[in-house]
Amino acid sequence: MELRLYDTLSREKRTFAPLDAKNVRMYVCGPTVYDFAHIGNARPVIVFDVLFRLLRHVYGEAHVKYVRNITDVDDKINARALRDYPGLLLNDAIRKVTEATASQFQADVKALGCLDPTHQPRATDFVLPRGDGRADMKSLIQDLLDRNHAYLALGDEGKEILFDVSSMPDYGALSKRKLDEQIPGARIAVDSHKRNAEDFVLWKESGVREPGWKGEFRPNPKSGYDAEFTISRENASRLQLNSQVVAIHGRPGWHIECSAMSAAYLGNVFDIHGGGIDLIFPHHENEIAQSRCAHGTSAMANFWMHNGFVEVEGKKMSKSDGNFVTIHELLQDWPGEVLRLNMLKTHYRSPIDWTIASLEESKRELQTWANALENTEGMLFSIGQREMGKPPVPAEKIVSALADDLNTSQAITELRAIFSQFRSGNSQASIQLMQSLEFLGLARSDRLGLLNPYHVGTGGRLASPAMKRNLDLLQIAAANDDSARQAAIVETLLTNGVRASVHTNGSIEYEVFGDGVNVDELIRARSEARARKDFKESDRIRDLLARMGVTLRDFKDPVTGEIKTEVAR
C-alpha cells in the first residue's frame, strides 16, 4: 500500500518511504505546560495520533517510534509561577505549575482517545549533558559555536548566544522567507547586538527571579563573539573572553529544546516532524537551522506536516472575545469521542470552524452508531480482539482514505457507508464498523457506554439492559432534581453490582463489578459459608464485596452472643 503525505517543505504530496521500515520515527511539538490546553492545541494531538495509528498498522507497532515533547521551561511558565505561588522559591513554584498542568494535559488527551506516544520527554531533562549520552541543548549549542553558526553577544538583559542565520545559505526554505529580501524591523525589532534581525536566541542569561543552569561555553575565535562588543576592556571583561570558557548562568531558547529532544530519541535525521501551522515560522524554521548546522546534515526530517487553525463559531479564538475554550472545559459537557469525531470530520490541513451545532451533529452520529452496535457480532468480535491483545483491523477503504494524506474526512464518509451496509442486513459490516471505530480512536467495544450522552461506563464492562433502564431513570431523576429518587435508584443499582454517580453536568457515570450479581445474595452466601466454617469462601466473598464498594464488619451480639454482620455501602 502506498502512503502519500503532504510535505510543507517541498509544498507537494509525496510518497512516504521511511529511512528504515523497521524504525519509523515521528516527532511532534507538544504543549508548553503553563495553563490548560485549548481546543486548538487538541488538533495536532488528535491528527498525529491518527497518523501514529496508521503507521503502526502499516509497519507494525514495534517498528514505529513517536515522540511528543513537554516544554516545562518558558517565560510564560515563570510568570505563572510567580503569580500563583508568590511565597515559594521560584523553582518550587515552577514545579507546581508544570506538574499540575502536565498532569491535566495527559488526562485531557487520554479522554480524547489518544494513544500514549513512545516517549514524552520534558525539556528540563535535556538542558545539560546527560549520563546516558543522549543529545542535550548545551552540547548542541557548543556544536553550533564550533561550526561558526553561533556567536556571543551582550543584549539588554545580559549575555546571549545567538544563531547566525546568515551562516545558513538556505535559511527560510520551510516558510519560504528569503533572508536577503526581508526588511529589517518589519516583524522583529532590530536589536543592536544582533548581526541580523532574524538571529535568534540559543541561550540567554537568567536573572535572579528566573530559572537557570550552569552553562559553560567555548567561544570560537572565528565567530564566537561579535567584535563590536570586544572593543572595550569593559565589554571584554563582562563576556569573560580573557578565559577559554564563557560562563553564563542561564536557560535555553525555545527552539533549541525540540532540536535536542528529537535528536535524543530519533537521531539527527528522522522521518516526520509535525505540529500546528503556526509553528512553521519561526519555531520549525529555526529547528531546521539549528539541527542541520549542528549535525552537518542536509535535512532534519524528511517530511514536515502541519495542521490548520481552529476557529470558534467563525472567529479566531481569543480570551478577549470570550471564545477561548479549553479541552478540560469541553470534556465537562461532551464525551471525548464527540470532540475527536468533530475534529476528524475536517481534513487536517484545512481550517476548522468549531461550533456547538457541529458538536451536536457529531454526538448524534456517534450515538446512532453506538446504539446499533451494542450486543452485535461486531462488538463481540472486537471485545475478543482486545482481550487477546490484538490491534483492531480497520476496513480497507478506511486505510486507503488515511493513506491519501491522512484524509480523515473521507474516512468518516467510508464509516457512514459501512454503517449503511450494516443497517441493510450485512452482519459482517458490524465487524468492519466496530473495528474501524476502534482503529480511529472513536469507540471502544468494551465501553460503548462512553458514546451514550448520559451514561459513561468506567468499569471496563457494560451494564445489562435492565441496569441501563435504571440508569435512564436515574438520568430523569437528576434532570428533575429529585434527590430522594436519585438515592433510591443508586441503591438499587448498587445492590445489583453497579455503582453509579451523577455529575454536575447531568451525566451519569457507572461502574460494573463482578457479573452484576445481587449484593444481598452475596452477603447471605458469605454468612452460610461462615456457618459451615468455610472461611476461605467467606473471605473470597468478603473481598469481592469490598471491590464492589460494600464493606462488611463482623461483630458479636452482646446479648445473644451471636455473630452478626454489619453492612456499609
Inform me whether the pLDDT recorded for 237 exceeds 60.
Answer: no
Among 394, 508, 481, 461, which Cα is nearest to 50's? Answer: 394
pLDDT score at 374: 79
183 and 170 both lie in a single domain = yes
- Tell me if 242 is assigned to some domain: yes
Inform me whether the pLDDT recorded for 241 exceeds 70.
Answer: no
Among 553, 556, 547, which Cα is nearest to 567's? Answer: 553
- Tell me if 249 is assigned to some domain: yes
Q: Cis bond leading into 392, ω under 30°? A: no
pLDDT score at 310: 95
Pick the last residue of a domain from 256, 281, 302. Answer: 256
Q: How confident is the model at residue 79 (pLDDT cuts 50, 70, 90)?
A: confident
N- to C-terminal Cα separation, the chain: 56
Contact 153, 193 (CB under 8 A): yes
Enumerate the H helices of 60-216 as residue ranges. 75-84, 90-111, 137-146
Inform me whether the pLDDT recorded for 532 exceeds 70.
Answer: yes
The rounded distance, in Å, linking the Cα atoms of 154 and 161 is 9
- Tell me if 129 is assigned to some domain: no
User: CA-CA distances (angstroms) from residue 446 to 107, 112, 119, 383, 418?
Assistant: 20, 17, 27, 6, 20
Inform me whether the pLDDT recorded for 230 exceeds 50.
Answer: no
User: CA-CA distances (angstroms) from residue 52 to 59, 67, 131, 402?
Assistant: 10, 10, 30, 11
pLDDT score at 217: 94
370 and 419 both lie in a single domain = yes
pLDDT tens digit sequence for 163-188: 999 999 999 999 998 766 554 443 34
Query: Which of 246-260, 298-312, 361-375, 396-410 shows the lowest per-residue confidence on average (mean pLDDT)?
Result: 361-375
Pick the last residue of a domain from 208, 232, 256. Answer: 256
Q: Which residues pair with 26 in a beta bridge?
A: 66, 272
pLDDT tens digit sequence for 286-315: 999 999 999 999 999 999 999 999 999 988
Q: Are strands 64-68 and 24-28 parallel, antiparallel or unpaired?
A: parallel
166 and 249 both lie in a single domain = yes
* CATH code assigned at 86: 3.40.50.620
Contact 252, 203 (CB under 8 A): yes
pLDDT score at 46: 98
pLDDT score at 201: 96
Answer with the residue of higher pLDDT: 450 or 549: 549
Q: Cell digits for 227? A: 567584535
92 and 182 both lie in a single domain = no
Sign of CA dihedral 359, 478, 463, 461: positive
The pLDDT > 70 percentage for the chain reads: 85
81 and 32 both lie in a single domain = yes
540 and 471 both lie in a single domain = no
Kindly report the CA angle at 159 between 153 and 163, in degrees rounded to 5? Answer: 50
The rounded distance, in Å, linking the Cα atoms of 176 and 113 is 35
150 and 82 both lie in a single domain = no
Answer with the residue of higher pLDDT: 336 or 503: 336
Contact 318, 324 (CB under 8 A): yes
Q: Cell digits for 450? A: 462512553
Q: How confident is the model at residue 569 (pLDDT cuts 50, 70, 90)?
A: low
- Tell me if 322 is assigned to some domain: no
Among 435, 410, 351, 442, which Cα is nearest to 46's? Answer: 442
Among 209, 182, 210, which Cα is nearest to 196's? Answer: 182
13 and 36 both lie in a single domain = yes
446 and 532 both lie in a single domain = no
Answer with the residue of higher pLDDT: 365 or 474: 365
pLDDT tens digit sequence for 8-60: 999 999 999 999 999 999 999 999 998 899 999 999 999 999 999 999 999 99
481 and 523 both lie in a single domain = no
Q: How confident is the model at residue 189 (pLDDT cuts 50, 70, 90)?
A: very low
Inform me whether the pLDDT recorded for 475 exceeds 80.
Answer: no
- Tell me if 328 is assigned to some domain: no
Contact 143, 220 (CB under 8 A): no
How many residues in total does the chain contain? 569
Average pLDDT across the chain, whole number:
85
148 and 247 both lie in a single domain = yes
341 and 435 both lie in a single domain = yes
Pick the last residue of a domain from 204, 226, 256. Answer: 256
The rounded distance, in Å, linking the Cα atoms of 150 and 152 is 7
Give the chain's radius of gyration (CA, Å).
Answer: 29
- Tell me if 127 is assigned to some domain: no
pLDDT score at 460: 42
3-state SS, residue 364 = helix
The rounded distance, in Å, linking the Cα atoms of 155 and 330 is 43
- Tell me if 459 is assigned to some domain: yes
Tell me which residue range forms the domain holding 528.
519-568
pLDDT tens digit sequence for 94-148: 888 898 899 899 989 998 999 999 999 999 999 999 999 999 999 999 999 999 9
Q: Cell digits for 306? A: 502541519
3-state SS, residue 165 = helix
Q: How many domains, in total, are found in the chain?
A: 5
- Tell me if 392 is assigned to some domain: yes
Query: Which of 317-321, 354-358, 408-412 shows the lowest per-residue confidence on average (mean pLDDT)?
Result: 317-321
Contact 73, 251 (CB under 8 A): yes
Collect all residues with Cβ–Cβ distance below 8 Å to 545 and sequence separation of at least 6: 519, 522, 523, 526, 551, 552
